[in-house]
Amino acid sequence: MILTGCGNQQNPTPHSQFVKFSGQTMGTTWHVTCRDTSGKPLGEFIDSLLVGINDEVSTYIPSSVISRFNQADSSFAIAFDFEQLFLPDGNSPAPNWQSGQAHFVANYIAASDIFFQTNGYFDPTVMPLVNYWGFGYEPRKKHSLKDSAAVDSLLDLVGLDRVIHNEFGKSSRLVKSAPGVQLDFSAIAKGHAVDIIVLLLESMGVRDALVEIGGEVRAIGMSPRGEPWRIGISTPKEDAAQGDFERIVSLTNLSLATSGNYRNYYEIDGVKHSHTINPKTGFPEHNTLLSASVFSKECRTADAWATAMMVVGLESAKALTLQNPSIESILIFGAPDGSTDVWESPGIQQILKATNH
């Protein structure tokens, strides 16, 4: 997914009160375009915020909160009040994002919620399998699909019931069923970071902005043209050009995340192994779904659901979309004749209609 009209600039550039910022984070790039009248160093604030998020949820940083959880033998102390996040009434106090564990807790809660909504097909405990198949923080090892015994042993470490949350007021512990149980927020952390950047911008008085990290986007207000932000969904082909879009949609006060298997994979004996690991089977998932683009208010929600849909495949992804009123999706899949086809959920037409006005 590529942002239309968003340049890759290292320094802010004014454009009718709009400024652009960009940088690197989470193994990818981030871009922010926003209307700013605050005069504050937003780029520096965003950079600092992303460093703080990485220090909590990056498995590539040995000292991060998630790495310390993954390294723990049996339990991990949480010095954070879980009730500060995601209360049903929506009126919970703003969490202290500088607490040192708030982002870890937020990702854990959001990932756990979607784990149950997807019947375990989105699973934050899939890290041992991600590492085994060479898509995690450990050095890449290429395995054959015949290594079923090793996969079966790792499946014993996968499943959210392997992590128990014991609460003791504002202090609690996450208890692991075995030392090898590990968490992985890579399929939700970028979306979470996008949401937190939006919160930061709104706290600075920004009302028009487009925030993107590694293709996951959230739009608020209007673009410099005074229209909804236009986003292109890439054609899911390995050789597709940068500007080759399957759909162009318009977003305002909405998020969009796309997951696909057509770029992040490796090949052994002519068989492609994708980075999407099925937590039920333990193997890289192979199905006709080429990419899943999910629309939701929060980017973390869209991010996680897009991954879940790539795991369950086309028909189940359709059903999950129709069952969930908080999301819409565009699913691009391979047809029997070798061509590609597109399925759109009913609400997509309203999004596409906005694009044509």
How much is the pLDDT for 356?
Answer: 53
Residue 271 pLDDT greater than 80, yes or no: no
Mean pLDDT, residues 75-80 taken together: 82
Query: Is 114 within a domain?
Result: yes
CATH number of 111's domain: 1.10.3980
| Residue with tokens 């790495």, as numbered in its chain | 67
CA–CA separation, 57 vs 13, rounded Å?
31
Query: Is 276 within a domain?
Result: no
Lowest mean pLDDT among 9-18, 182-191, 255-264, 348-357: 9-18
Question: Which residues fall within 8 angstroms of residue 63, CB to CB, at 6 or more apart?
Answer: 55
Mean pLDDT, residues 317-327 taken together: 95
Work out the pLDDT band at 355, boundaries 50, 70, 90. Answer: low
Residue 92 pLDDT greater than 60, yes or no: no
243, 271, 277, 306, 357 from 310: Cα distances, Å: 23, 18, 9, 7, 31
Its domain, for residue 94, covers: 64-176
Query: Is 343 within a domain?
Result: no
CA–CA separation, 176 vs 206, rounded Å?
42
Work out the pLDDT band at 275, boundaries 50, 70, 90. Answer: low
Query: Is 136 within a domain?
Result: yes
Please report how the helices 189-203 and 299-312 are oriented relative to each other, as an axis angle in degrees rounded to 10. 160
Higher-confidence residue of 351 and 47: namely 47
Mean pLDDT, residues 111-126 taken together: 95
Please report how the helices 102-117 and 42-57 are oriented relative to each other, as an axis angle in degrees rounded to 10. 70
Q: For the chain, how many structural domains are there in total? A: 1
DSSP state at residue 296: E
Alpha-helical segments (H) within 118-183: 127-132, 148-155
Query: Is 305 within a domain?
Result: no
Give one DSSP letter per residue of 48-70, joined into a string. Answer: HHHHHHHHHH-TTSTTSHHHHHH
How much is the pLDDT for 238?
Answer: 59
Higher-confidence residue of 310 and 2: namely 310
* Arithmetic mean of pLDDT over the chain: 83
Query: Is 119 within a domain?
Result: yes
Query: Is 142 within a domain?
Result: yes
Query: Is 352 within a domain?
Result: no
Give one DSSP letter per residue of 206-273, joined into a string. Answer: --SEEEEETTEEEEES--TTSSPEEEEEEP--TT--TT-EEEEEEESSEEEEEEESSSSEEEETTEEE
